[in-house]
């Protein structure tokens, strides 16, 4: 199993500003997306989140009126106001939107292809 440091090296994070809905046992809140990669998201919320490390949540990222990235995640990092979530599961349509978002922001298709290969290996 890879450490979080190894994951950071293998998956490029891009800064992206968007609102997200985070649904978890006991509630749902709106958080601000700080950055995103194929394997996780960093979100900002100005209050303590009532979700423990290892807790699961569904993160919905709205890119446009009809573009939604939906992922099942696990909270891996919590230092308010920043919260890091590891992507455990993502549907095909959301993955297509995420890939396009990364492709447009990375500007390096070869790098994206390598990251996708690493993701498949995991």
pLDDT of residue 14: 79
pLDDT per position as a tens digit, 60-114? 999 877 889 999 999 999 999 999 999 999 999 999 898 888 887 776 666 556 6
Residue 88 has what pLDDT? 97
Look at residue 7 in the predicted model and tell me its pLDDT. 43
* Separation CA 3–CA 100 (nearest Å): 27
pLDDT at 103: 81
Across 48-55, average pLDDT: 94
- Percent of the chain at pLDDT above 90? 53
Measured CA to CA, the distance from residue 15 to residue 43 in angstroms comes to: 11
- Domains of the chain, first to last: 4-121 (2.40.10.220)
Given a contact cutoff of 8 angstroms between Cβ atoms, the answer to whether 73 and 41 are in contact is: yes
Q: Where are the beta strands (DSSP E) in the chain?
A: 14-24, 27-36, 40-44, 56-64, 67-79, 82-90
Entry pTM: 0.80
Average pLDDT over residues 33-58: 94
């Amino acid at each position: 199993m890879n450490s979080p440091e190894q994951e950071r090296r293998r998956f490029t994070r891009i800064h992206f500003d968007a609102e997200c809905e985070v649904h978890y046992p006991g509630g749902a809140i709106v958080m601000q997306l700080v950055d995103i990669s194929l394997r996780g998201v960093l979100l900002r919320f100005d209050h303590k989140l009532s979700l423990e490390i290892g807790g699961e949540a569904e993160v919905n990222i709205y890119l446009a009126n009809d573009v939604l990235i939906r992922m099942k995640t696990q909270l891996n990092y919590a230092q308010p106001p920043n919260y890091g979530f590891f992507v455990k599961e993502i549907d095909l349509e959301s993955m297509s939107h995420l890939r396009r978002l990364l492709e447009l922001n990375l500007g390096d298709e070869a790098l994206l292809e390598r990251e996708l290969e690493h993701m498949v290996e995991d």
